[in-house]
Amino acid sequence: MPAPLRARFWSSDEQDAIERLARSRTAPVRLVARARIVLLSRQCDTVDEIAEKLGVCQDTVRRWIHRFDRDGVDGLADKPRTGRPPTYTPAEVGAVIAASLTKPESLGLPFSCWTLDRLETYLNEERGLPIKRSRIGEILVAEGLRWREEETWFGARPDPAFAEKRGPSSRSTRRHLRIVS
């Protein structure tokens, strides 16, 4: 039988903190599981038994016991992860949202509603913000904004002078027959 891997001896403050975390219903689940691993290791359970009880792999049990031994209770928390920094600053994201909520007519543009292509062109050329259409869509979805709520495809059009601008129908369109009574 393999020798149990036990967490180091701890102070009464650490013991209280570990026991509180292991019983917590409001702490993050990961932190509670890590506290249980350390607590079970002090109760003379082997790595195999702890892994089976908690439904984790043995390497996970070893990792958290070793990290607790090295860093104490603070070692059970997640460390900052590396990764790509945000591409756009909060001010640039705010500019995208503000532009999308502004009526294009008030900016002197010749259309009455935004599309992602129009918004991309406006932000790239007028505001000097190099951003792609797909990223604009992601930002707006994250903010809970949806497209085409203002423009209707059936019924009233946003442009009241649409019929005059459109002109007559093409010659290939059949005329409506009038019924004479």
pLDDT of residue 82: 86
Rounded to a whole number, what is the distance in angstroms from the first to the last CA of the chain?
104
Domain locations in the chain?
A: 12-76, 90-153
* pTM, two decimal places: 0.48
Per-position DSSP letters for 75-116, written without gaps between them: GGSPPPPP-PPPSS-HHHHHHHHHHHHS-GGGGT-S-SS--H
63 pLDDT tier (thresholds 50, 70, 90): very high
What tokens does 25 get?
């219903």
Q: What is the pLDDT of residues 1-26, one digit of tens each?
A: 566 677 777 778 888 888 999 989 99
Q: Which fold is adopted by the domain 12-76?
A: Arc Repressor Mutant, subunit A (1.10.10)
Check: CB of residue 6 under 8 Å from CB of residue 44: yes
Q: What is the pLDDT of residues 100-154, one digit of tens each?
A: 989 898 988 888 888 889 999 999 999 999 999 999 999 998 888 876 544 444 4
**54 vs 161 pLDDT, higher one:** 54
